[in-house]
């Protein structure tokens, strides 16, 4: 029993040290991300057509080829999603820097970030579910709405200014 | 009333707390951390009073029952003090920090409620000791969860936390978790309470944490965070871009 207690205490000590290291690294990462260059909207244009079925007519019904192409395109789409997530994280970091630098409480920004993050996480989960269904050959991709949203992002990105200097 | 030999583990704990108090006074930090100083004093005094007493005596039980909650509340105030200093330097994070605190409290209370059980069979004193252990366990576990979750929350933001804050958060979370785990063992296994199996390693662990804390304390560097002028246009742009990215994702998931 004493050995078990000592073992538990050692685990707790290691866990605390790990937590400290993790928070330190995340703080460094937060500083780097919030001063990084903001995303270019054009980079997501290939996402619009990558899962489209229209340009797969050349397969001529060859199911094996079709399956291979769809699998590869899903991988590429996931790659774009990862980039999108990183760019989203950079945008969030910019807003968090604003909160850090503020001399007054910013509940408005806190609320906006919380809502936005929740919606983003839900959207990512939905995309993952649809990608799994796509892998099973169920469902079709309609990217027409995506075109409008991407154009809206481009118009916003065009008036962007670079991020300000460090907070400290 | 007095034991045959003094409890050297408790003496070590008291000495470690006294060492950290000495370091705090040496660096003239008592004005900035009065709650932390009070916590260390309460730990040192309780350990000093308990060490010569026989564990089976009524005096030991009385000192334990009074000292335990006092130390817990002192710990709560020192954690409050630590985070109050952080949010005083970064007022923009107060609301978000409050939400993180509520989340931590919810988690701690839920887990505490789930592990509640009925008191041991025995005398009124046994039941008092049981309730005191449950109180200590709940408070120390809650404090550990609060420290951990608030540190994880703060790590998302590009801010500067002083070395003493890191040291405090590490040692606070380690000590409180250890105490919570040992109190849980004590409440689940009454034959182990006041025994050597769990309590003695915990006392030694707490003493080592306090000693390490005292060694790692450094004079507080005065650092005022930079406050550039508010750029509302920039904020609006960032929010708009976040919304646009979310819209892209939402549209791409509507297949």
What confidence tens digit (pLDDT) does each residue in B105-128 have? 999 999 888 888 777 778 888 888
Residue A153: both structure tokens together: 């992002």
Answer yes or no: is A99 within a domain: yes
Q: Look at chain A and count its residues.
A: 168
Q: How far apart are CA B187 and CA B182, in angstroms?
A: 9
Indicate the residue of B96, B234, B255 with minimum beta-carbon distance to A141.
B255
Place of tokens 């409480």: A105
Residues in B closer than 8 angstroms to A16, CB to CB, are 170-171, 173-174, 177
Tell me which chain A residues have a C-beta less than 8 angstroms from the C-beta of B174: 12-13, 15-16
Quick one: tokens of A7?
């073992």
Is A22 part of a structural domain of the chain?
A: no
Is a pLDDT exceeding 70 seen at residue A29?
A: no
From the number of C-beta atoms within 10 Å of its C-beta (0-12, 13-18, 19+), residue B144 rates as buried
Of A88, A140, A160, the CB nearest to B237: A160
- B35 pLDDT higher than 60: yes
Q: Which of residues 106-135 of A touch B (CB under 8 A)?
A: 106-107, 109-114, 116, 119-120, 123-124, 126-127, 130, 133-134
Distance CA B97, CA A110 (A): 9
Query: Structure tokens of A144?
Result: 């027409």
Q: What is d(CA B59, CA B39) in angstroms, rounded to the nearest whole number?
A: 22
Residues B183-196: pLDDT tens digits? Answer: 888 777 766 554 55
Number of domains chain B is built from: 1
Q: What share of chain A is helix, strand, coil (3-state, %, to 5)?
A: 75, 0, 25
**Is residue B120 situated within a structural domain?**
yes
How many Å apart are CA A118 and CA A128, to the nearest integer?
A: 15
Nearest chain B CA: its distance from A63 CA (Å):
22
Q: How far is B171 from chain A (nearest CA, A)?
A: 7
Whether B255 and A93 lie within 8 Å, measured CB to CB: no
Q: Is the pLDDT of residue A163 over 50?
A: no
CA–CA–CA angle B176, B177, B182 (5° rounding): 100
Look at A126-140, A153-167, B221-235 and tell me which has the smallest mean pLDDT: A153-167
User: What is the Cα Rg of chain A in Å?
Assistant: 22
Q: If DSSP codes are grouped into helix, strand and coil, which group holds residue B2?
A: strand
In the block, which residue shows the tokens 């919304």? B243
Q: Do A127 and B243 touch (CB under 8 A)?
A: no
Q: What is the 3-state secondary structure (H, E, C) of A4-58?
A: HHHHHHHHHHHHHHHHHHHHHHHHHHHHHHHCCCCCCHHHHCCHHHHCCCHHHHH
**Residue B39 burial (C-beta neighbours within 10 Å; 0-12, 13-18, 19+):** buried
Q: Do A123 and B249 count as a contact with CB atoms less than 8 A apart?
A: yes
Domain that holds residue B77: 8-220
Does residue B216 form part of some domain?
yes
Residue in B closest to A97 by C-alpha: B158
Question: Chain A, 21-80: which have a CB under 8 Å from a chain B CB?
Answer: 22-24, 26-27, 30-31, 33-35, 38, 44, 47
**pTM exceeding 0.80:** no
Euclidean distance between CA atoms B38 and B168, whole angstroms: 15
Report how many domains make up chain A: 1
Domain extent, residue A105, equals 35-157
Judge whether B254 lies within some domain: no
pLDDT class for A167, splitting at 50, 70, 90? very low
Name which of B165, B190, B242 to mutate to probe chain A: the one with the most chain A Cβ atoms within 10 A of its Cβ. Answer: B242
Tell me the two tokens of residue A45: 């244009």
Q: What is residue B53's three-state secondary structure?
A: strand
What was the pLDDT predicted at A160?
A: 37
Q: Measure the CA–CA gap between B27 and B58, rounded to whole angstroms.
A: 40
Contact status, residue A128 vs residue A68, Cβ threshold 8 Å? no
- pLDDT tens-place string over residues A44-84: 777 767 777 776 667 777 888 888 888 898 888 888 888 87
Instruction: Check residue B198 and report its DSSP letter.
Output: S
Instruction: With CB atoms and an 8 Å threshold, state whether B240 touches A156.
Output: yes
Provide the percentage of residues in chain A whose pLDDT is more than 70. Answer: 67
**B246 occurs within a structural domain:** no
Position with higher pLDDT, B59 vs A157: B59
């Amino acid at each position: 029993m004493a050995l078990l207690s000592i073992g538990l205490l050692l685990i707790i000590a290691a866990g605390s040290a790990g937590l400290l290291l993790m928070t330190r690294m995340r703080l460094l990462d937060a500083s780097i991300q919030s001063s990084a260059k903001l995303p270019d909207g054009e980079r997501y244009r290939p996402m619009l057509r990558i899962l489209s079925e229209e340009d797969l007519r050349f397969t001529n019904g060859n199911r094996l080829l079709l399956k291979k192409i769809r699998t590869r395109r899903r991988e590429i789409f996931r790659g774009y999603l990862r980039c999108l997530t990183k760019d989203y994280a950079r945008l969030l970091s910019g807003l968090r820097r604003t909160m850090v630098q503020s001399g007054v409480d910013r509940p408005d920004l806190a609320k906006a970030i919380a809502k936005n993050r929740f919606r983003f996480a839900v959207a990512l989960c939905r995309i993952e579910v649809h990608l799994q269904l796509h892998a099973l050959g169920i469902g079709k991709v309609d990217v027409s709405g995506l075109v409008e949203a991407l154009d809206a992002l481009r118009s916003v990105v065009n008036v962007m200014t670079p991020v300000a200097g460090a907070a400290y | 009333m007095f034991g045959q030999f003094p409890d050297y583990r408790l003496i070590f704990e008291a000495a470690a707390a006294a060492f950290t108090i000495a370091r705090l006074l040496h660096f003239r930090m008592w004005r900035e951390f009065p709650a932390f100083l009070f916590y260390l004093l309460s730990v040192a005094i309780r350990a000093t009073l308990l060490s010569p007493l026989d564990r089976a005596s009524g005096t030991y039980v009385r000192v334990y029952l009074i000292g335990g909650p006092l130390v817990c509340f002192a710990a709560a105030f020192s954690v409050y003090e630590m985070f109050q200093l952080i949010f005083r330097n970064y007022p923009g994070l107060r609301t978000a920090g409050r939400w993180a605190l509520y989340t931590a409290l919810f988690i701690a209370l839920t887990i505490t409620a789930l592990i509640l059980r009925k008191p041991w069979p025995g005398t009124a004193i046994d039941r008092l000791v049981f309730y005191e252990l449950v109180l200590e366990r709940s408070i120390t576990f809650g404090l550990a969860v609060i420290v951990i979750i608030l540190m994880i929350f703060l790590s998302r933001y590009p801010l500067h936390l002083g070395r003493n804050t890191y040291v405090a958060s590490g040692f606070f979370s380690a000590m409180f978790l250890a105490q919570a785990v040992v109190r849980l063992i004590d409440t689940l296994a009454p034959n182990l309470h006041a025994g050597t199996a769990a309590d003695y390693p915990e006392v030694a662990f707490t003493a080592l944490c306090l000693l390490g804390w005292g060694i790692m304390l450094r004079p507080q560097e005065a650092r005022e965070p930079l406050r550039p002028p508010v750029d509302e246009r920039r904020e609006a742009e960032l929010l708009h871009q976040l919304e646009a990215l979310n819209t892209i994702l939402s549209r791409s998931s509507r297949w």
